Amino acid sequence: MQLTQKIHHLSAQLHQDVTAIRRHLHAHPELSFQEHKTAAYVQAMLKQHGIPFTAGVAGTGVVAYIEGKNPDKKTIALRADMDALPITEANNVPYKSTVPGVMHACGHDAHTASLLGAAQILNHLKQDFEGTVKLIFQPAEERMPGGASMMIKEGVLENPKPSGIIGQHVFSVLPAGTVGFRSGMMMASADEIDMVVYGKGGHGAVPQLTVDPVVIAAQIITALQQLVSRMADPTIPCVLTFGKINSAGGAYNIIPESVALQGTLRTMNEHWRKQAHAHITRMATGIAEAMGGSCKVDITVGYPFLVNDEELTARCKQAAIAYLGKENVYDIPMRMTAEDFAYYSQVTQGCFYRLGTGNVARGITSNVHTPTFDIDEEALKTGMGLMAWLALTELNNA
């Protein structure tokens, strides 16, 4: 039996168990940096199958190791994230979240379950490959500074040092049973912008006696759109969005003392990213002062942009075609969303691809980060099997 056939057979055999794992995780979500029960569950599954691991990496992270023949020959890493989001689930399913206000709305339950399935497959096939597969169960992808950066600082990419790292992410746009790849720039950097505009409050009927921070904030938001349309190189992807405005007091006829703004800057060029920070600060403070007020600007530097190594991604795409068939492997565009897998891709060769999880016929089409997000669990067969196959393909490529 060929190796691909073995993996397909094991994936089908394990599908029910891995689905149960995913449903358990989905019903018991935990927020970033709080994944204690999730980590304990992952450890229990690894122990059950005799897979050695190190726990407590970056708090709740778990790193497991599966050694084939000649384990020192080469190492490849596979990564899954474990945290959930502060969203109240609206799905009526047997595995609905049991934690009020917390939900696996980004598919990390599917990522973790798939990697646990891949671990079992690789453990069955230890005599079929040379080298070591390092399995990274990572906390806190959804919250800065990001679990990836913390795990890297604690040496997750050392001892043994992997030649590259592979990760996958659910994608409801693609149907279950398919995957999507992109070489080069894949996802954007993401920075958080906090501003407070200060003025002088008063009665809305006598604005001449006030310094209106609402009007100043509006001018700042409008003017900063020039950052993308007139200051950025048009060839550099860049997005500036303000998603929240709050005033300190204020009413129909009351001008408040201050207004707080929150936004995000996303791009794919580190030099422009730094320049943009300076432009935002200069423009916001200058506009506020020109209008008689002031503005405090704080920019929190978030995840870097994610770049897929071209050679590794090309190999993974061809391996996926060999495993799934050409008709089930798509080329996908870059996205301005962000992922802390980017930290790995800045340190070693990385390949981050999309796992199709949608099913239009069954109404499974909701995007991530929504209360109705769910997956077609048939995708777990692809999720676990392809990760195992990609790892073995890389090890056998040594």
SS (H, E, C) 36-55: HHHHHHHHHHHHHCCCCEEE
Task: Name the CATH code of domain 3-186+305-396 (choices 3.40.50.300, 3.40.630.10, 3.30.70.100, 3.90.1300.10).
Answer: 3.40.630.10
Domain with CATH 3.30.70.360 in the chain: 191-300
Q: What is the pLDDT of residue 243?
A: 96
Predicted local distance difference test score (pLDDT) of residue 364: 97
**Candidates 30, 35, 67, 83; catalytic one:** 83
> 134-162 pLDDT, tens per residue?
999 999 999 999 999 999 999 999 999 99
Residue 141 annotated as catalytic:
yes
Kindly report, as residue ranges, where domains of CATH 3.40.630.10 are found in the chain.
Answer: 3-186+305-396
Sheet containing 179-181, strands listed edge to edge, beginning at the edge strand earlier in sequence: 53-57, 61-67, 132-138, 75-81, 164-175, 349-358, 179-181, 329-331
C-alpha separations of 59 from 116, 133, 153, 223 in Å: 20, 22, 12, 42
Q: Which amino acid type is present at position 292? A: G
Label residue 398 by pLDDT band (50, 70, 90): low
CB within 8 Å of 396: residues ≥ 6 apart: 129, 130
The model's pLDDT over 156-209, given as tens digits with 9 standing for 90+, comes to 999 999 999 999 999 999 999 999 999 999 999 999 999 999 999 999 999 999
Q: 335: closest CA among 228, 149, 221, 180?
A: 180
Predicted confidence band of residue 257 (pLDDT cuts 50, 70, 90): very high
Reduce the DSSP state of residue 155 to 3 states and report it. coil
User: Any catalytic annotation for residue 83?
Assistant: yes
Looking at CATH, the fold of the domain delimited by 191-300 is given as: Alpha-Beta Plaits (3.30.70)
> Cα–Cα distances in Å, from 303 out to 55, 82, 347?
24, 18, 13
pLDDT for the residue 21: 98
Q: Which of 30, 141, 340, 394 is catalytic?
A: 141
pLDDT of amino acid 397: 81
Per-residue confidence (pLDDT) for residue 261, from 0 to 100: 98
Residues 239 and 228: beta-carbon distance below 8 Å:
yes
Percent of the chain with pLDDT over 90: 98
pLDDT tens readout for residues 227-240: 999 999 999 999 99
Average pLDDT over residues 284-294: 98
